[in-house]
Amino acid sequence: MRRTREAEQLDVYYNNMLLMGYADEKLTLDNLVLKKRNGLWGVVGYTPDFNTDLINNNGILKIPKYVEWIGDGAFIQLKDLKKLIIPTTVYALGKCAFQYCDELTDVTFLGKRPRKIPAELFRDCVRLTNINLDYVTSIDNLAFSNCKLKNVTFTDNLKKIGNYAFENNPLLKVVLPNNLDELGTGAFNACWNLKKIVFNQTLKKIPVKTCNDCTQLISVLLPQHLEVIGASAFYGCSALEQLYLPNTLKRIEACAFKGCLSLKAILLPDNLNRIDYVSFADCAALQKISIGTILKTLEPRAFEGTNIKEVHIRANSASKETIKGLRKLLLNGGVLKKGTKVLGD
């Protein structure tokens, strides 16, 4: 990578300090503790006087241009930090580097350098509301857990969102870019303010707990070629009234829609062959379902706590034996009860 003039000048300064015996493997400059790694300068900590510098600068920290990387936990629990500016000279960020900076509200990445957001980088920055992610290529586990982000924009540069990356944020809307290759477990878990999520069309499986306990979620746009909805993916989405399931869907895993109290009707697609344990349990408003004849596995209590009054079996050209087998499956699965109305094509 091309180094800055400031970093090269720091090399000269450091070498002179070594010759005079005033430095070892670490160097303190501007109340930052610096260390050289693979020939590049990085921040590994700060001195007690650094907080005074921050206060005098109205809580704004602009990382110096001689810094080329920031180490793990370098600024963890830094008090008085309100605004962070990271220049293009910083090519790598360490895990937990700004964790528990509970007064931090704004983060700005300068330039167009591709960025990787490591695990827990801003975890528990409970006032963080503004950040630009335009050139971010990956967001690792718990990176923004327990922040206060309401609006984030993902671009096609983004390839990965890790486990619980945005859990417990007041996000309003999420649109995942089509270039996204990896979506981790619980990425938007407990985002209690989330109203709408649009999944990227390349996704084949909605991961476990993706929107678990998103209690205000009312709009979900699933991928057209989706095959699996993971366990607890929409558990406790109590405001969700309707949902279109694509015809490519083959399996709904345990607790996927458990506790979706407002869901009134569901059309289960023709290619669906497995519904796992308590998938639709406690969907108290659910009264109607429409189902094809491919279904082979309906685990116990899948529809426990629902109020199903009408089942539409889309028989198409299925044999009487196939329909009879499906009826038995629905009966054993607790879908068909005394008084349940069964309709067929």
Please write the tens of the pLDDT for every residue from 194-253: 999 999 999 999 999 999 999 999 999 999 999 999 999 999 999 999 999 999 999 999
pLDDT of residue 337: 74
pLDDT of residue 2: 62
Indicate if the alpha-carbon torsion angle 160, 165, 167, 173 is positive or negative.
negative
pLDDT of residue 318: 63
pLDDT of residue 327: 80
DSSP 84-109: EEE-TT--EE-TTTTTT-TT--EEEE
Domain boundaries, the chain: 1-107, 203-345
Asked whether this chain's domains 1-107 and 203-345 adopt the same fold, the reply is yes
Q: What are phi and psi of 326, to 5 degrees?
A: -65, -40
The architecture in CATH of the region 1-107 reads Alpha-Beta Horseshoe (3.80)
Question: Cα separation of 28 and 50, whole Å?
Answer: 11
Distances (CA, A) of 199 to 97, 202, 242, 275: 30, 9, 16, 22
CATH 3.40.50.2000 fits 203-345, yes or no: no
15 three-class SS:
helix
pLDDT of residue 300: 85
Residue spans of the chain under pLDDT 50: 19, 21-23
This prediction's pTM: 0.91
pLDDT of residue 21: 47
